[in-house]
Amino acid sequence: MALLQISEPGQTTAPHQHKLAVGIDLGTTNSLVASLKSGLAETLADTQGQHLLPSVVQFQAKDEIGYKTIVGQQAQDNAANDPLNTISSVKRYMGRGLEDIKKHSIYHFVSEEGSAVPRIRTVAGDVSAVEVSAEILKTLKQRAIESLGGELIGAVITVPAYFDDAQRQATKDAAKFAGLPVLRLINEPTAAAVAYGLDSGSEGIHVVYDLGGGTFDISILKLTKGVFEVLSTAGDSALGGDDLDHTIVDWMLAKTGIIEPDASLLRVLLDKARAAKEALTEQDTTLIQIHLDEKLHSQSDKQNSWQYELSREQFEQLIQPLIKKTLVPCRRALRDAHISVDEIQDVVLVGGSTRVPLVRQIVGDFFATQPLADIDPDKVVAIGAARQADVLAGNKSDEDMLLLDVTPLSLGLETMGGLAEKVIHRNTTIPVARAQDFTTFKDGQTAMAIHVVQGERELISDCRSLARFELRGIPPMVAGAARIRVTFQIDADGLLSVSAKEETSGVQSSIQVKPSYGLSDGEIETMLKDSFSHAQDDLDARKLREEQVEAKRVVEALLAALEEDGENLLSAQEQHTIQQAIDELSEIAEGSKQRAIKLKIEEVDKITAEFAQRRMDASINKALAGQRVNDLHT
């Protein structure tokens, strides 16, 4: 298990040397910044005393200085009047491709030629999700500087546990654009565990159920003497409170008879839906009132002013399928951690959406325990990140903490026959480095194409391609003689680097894996599900491919041997017999019967055994030619 050195032994910091670092929860709906003050972690408020910063950015037209942005509550208030230039829930677009982000989106997305990164068209120009997120981070950075009275040395930024490499890299890029050094990215559930673990000192197995505005994560952690180890993690990077809001919007549209609302009305409906959801957390019923203008009135036979009472019971019926959908990753996380429900000490609730009573009821019933919500579920992630930031900044900490996160999906390489060879398995603790040796397939091979993949299946066609690069300059050798060591390294932020080195010559090549966009909403879930449901089929397919690759190797080796020594060491009849065996093996290898290929390879080995022996004898005789007996004993 890899350990992280937190500080130098005996290192202390005088009060005047205290380094300013913050924890940032870059959320889908709201964002927060927190820091340690007098040893206590607390979120920082703006000049109006507000701690939550709505994750909303309004872009305004460019002038001679450049474009202007409004971030936070004012932008959210302006959204209904300027919906296409006011970007919210941008976290859902981080590291994603164009096809992944069209659902429930009112924005005009464009994709530049040669780039897989979609951009949002605004009056200020086309902006990416990274640039929008950078504006939010700039605001939080400035709030921290004003509140703490000095420049920051860096920040710990939280991300959903199920963010893939592209989404994590996009988050780091946003911080870079904001001029904010990243001390580390940590998973949101882990940050919550830091906050709860330090407050209660409770050791054992904990579950962090994190249902935020746009993402859902479930993490199972083990806390032992200040060490947080993530046993397993699962989730859905496109499921959260926004989806609960959309169910209410769909319900309202059905009531009003409006089929295709324009962007302004949709924004109004979303705001009404969010307010209704929050009201029903404390009340049994809420009254929703909407005024339809003349433009919209033509789309409906209803009156202009419309109101309807929504009860908590009706709301729960609407959202129940979504909440139950979160239990699928919960079951998978338990299975991956090899634990049962009765081994869990407690369940921690994180994210504003966990305030919904039905969420707490379903979670409590599933884990057979009353969930904990002692710390404000909106603030707990930022508080945990602040604690970790203070430690990583080198400030003295009363509690030594160690965070051991995991990688959510297996990483590996393509080998001959289109097989996936896993180098780092899913749920491996990070940071981590793993190396594996490979070799050449053909005689005289001087280059190797390396294909990095992600997934749980046995065949490349069922996995996700991450990157490709080449190792050139391999000294020409017989097949199998070269020794190529491929090293996978995942840093503390979950970012992957892959390098390859030929050991005898020292030639090497490497790549920083930065895929152009992330997994689609259902891909992670589908990849894991398929790995279980197709386990036996995958095993059979792998065995078949392995035999086909071995058959190809045998055929190529025999053809090379016949060309070099066939006429010298074999009679015409023997050559014909071996050639016939090669042809039969080639034909059978094209089929799908693994055992038949295996038996044919064994048969060919027997037929060619005498030829192999003659070649070996000839090689020895050639090596001994001209040598004296006495020379062999010296």
The enclosing domain of 361 has a CATH number of 3.30.420.40
389 domain-assigned? yes
488 inside domain: yes
- Mention every residue, 6+ apart, whose C-beta is less than 8 A from residue 293: 304
Dist. CA 418–CA 549, nearest whole Å: 10
Q: The domain spanning residue 607 has which CATH number?
A: 1.20.1270.10
The C-alpha atoms of residue 96 and residue 116 are separated, in whole angstroms, by: 9
Mean pLDDT confidence for 542-564: 79
Mean pLDDT of 544-553: 77
Q: Give a yes or no: residue 631 inside a domain.
A: no
Report whether pLDDT(24) > 90.
yes
The pLDDT of residue 569 is 80
Q: Which of 515, 531, 547 is the last residue of a domain?
A: 531
pLDDT at 461: 73
Residues 572 and 587 in one domain: yes
Residue 210 catalytic? yes
Assess whether 439 and 472 both reside in one domain: yes
For 377-387, the pLDDT digits (tens) are: 889 899 989 98
Of 46, 82, 91, 165, which residue is the catalytic one?
91
pLDDT at 394 over 50: yes
- The pLDDT mean for the chain works out to 78
Same domain, residue pair 217 and 85: yes
Residue 2 lies in a domain: no
Q: Is residue 66 domain-resident?
A: yes
Question: Residue 52 — φ and ψ, nearest 5°?
Answer: -80, 130
Q: Does the annotation count 443 as an active-site position?
A: no
Asked whether residue 150 falls in the same domain as residue 204, the answer is: yes
- Domain endpoint, select from 476, 508, 531: 531
Q: Are residues 438 and 512 in the same domain?
A: yes
* Whether residues 234 and 260 fall in one domain: no
629 assigned to some structural domain:
no
Do residue 362 and residue 228 come from a single domain? yes
In-domain check, residue 1 = no
Asked if residue 143 has pLDDT above 90, the reply is: yes
Tokens representing residue 79 in the block = 């959204």
| pLDDT over 50 at 1, yes or no | no
- Whether 252 and 391 share a structural domain: no
pLDDT for residue 32 is more than 80: yes
Q: If you average pLDDT over residues 485-499, what whole number do you get?
A: 78
Residue 587 lies in a domain: yes
Q: Are residues 426 and 553 in the same domain?
A: no
188 as an active site residue: the answer is yes
From the candidates 164, 165, 173, 210, give the one annotated as an active-site residue.
210
Taking only the tens place, the pLDDT of each residue in 343-358 is 998 898 988 889 999 9
Catalytic residue chosen out of the listed positions 100, 131, 188, 493: 188
Q: List, for residues 58-109, the tens digit of each pLDDT value.
A: 988 776 565 688 999 998 888 878 888 888 888 878 777 666 665 556 788 8
The mean-pLDDT minimum among 219-228, 474-483, 598-607 falls in 219-228
Work out the pLDDT band at 325, boundaries 50, 70, 90: very high
Q: What's 374-442 look like in SS3? A: CCCCCCHHHHHHHHHHHHHCCCCCCCCCEEEEECCCCEEEEECCCEEEEEECCCCEECEEEEEEECCCC
Question: Does the pLDDT of residue 225 top 70, yes or no?
Answer: no
Q: Which domain holds residue 493?
A: 411-531
Between these two residues, 431 and 271, which has the higher pLDDT value?
271
Tell whether 314 and 287 lie within a shared domain. yes
Listed residues 406, 421, 438: the one ending a domain: 406
Quick check: 295 pLDDT over 70?
no
CA–CA separation, 329 and 240 (whole Å): 14
CATH classification of the domain holding 270: 3.90.640.10
The domain tally of the chain equals 4
DSSP run (H or E) holding 139: helix 129-148
Report how far residue 8's alpha carbon sits from residue 21's, in angstroms, rounded to the nearest whole number: 18
- Catalytic site includes residue 91: yes
350 and 302 within one domain: no
Same domain, 450 and 369: no
Q: Torsions phi, psi of 555, nearest 5?
A: -60, -50
